[in-house]
Amino acid sequence: MRRLLAALLLVLAFGVAQRAEVSVGSPFGLQGGVRFPLVPLLLDGRAYGGVGLEAMGGGVDLLLKLPLTDLYLGLGGFYGTGPALTFPQEGRGQGGVRMVLGTWLNLPLPLLGVYLEAQPVYYLTPVQSFGVGLAVGVSVGL
């Protein structure tokens, strides 16, 4: 039943997606996902899955766009099969919540965006600890 629900949510996310994204960095190494509008020009949702050297998993984020800027803030959760890619190394966990502090880089490329994110993380499992991750990504779409 869980797999069916996850598959339905994934199909729904791809159906309403505004952008497809690929990023390198936190939390799993290499991520792919979709970004879709929840409130036009103000709030986006993002669903992603990823794989890395030590872990694989997925997560979701809510991203609040700051008007008249290229900045956005977000809050999300993730869960994986191994330790996520953040620092410090000794406190990494498999699942938790994270904040997203991101910006779009101003490149003159049609339908293509490049973004940079810092991600403070609070791990909930298997141990409770803090970490910080970074990611750089490419986004394709409207």
DSSP 32-44: EEEEEEEETTTEE
**3-state class (DSSP) for residue 106:** coil
**pLDDT for the residue numbered 5:** 56
User: For residue 15, is pLDDT > 90?
Assistant: no
All structural domains of the chain:
1-140 (2.40.160.170)
| Residue 11 pLDDT level (bands cut at 50, 70, 90) | low
How does strand 43-51 pair with strand 19-25? unpaired
Identify whether the C-beta of residue 84 lies closer than 8 Å to the C-beta of residue 133. Answer: yes
Q: Whole-model pTM?
A: 0.86
| Residue 66 pLDDT level (bands cut at 50, 70, 90) | very high
User: For residue 12, is pLDDT > 80?
Assistant: no
**pLDDT for the residue numbered 45:** 95
The backbone torsions φ and ψ at residue 11, rounded to the nearest 5 degrees and listed phi first, read -65, -40
124 Rama class: left (phi>0) / alpha (psi -120 to 50) / beta: alpha
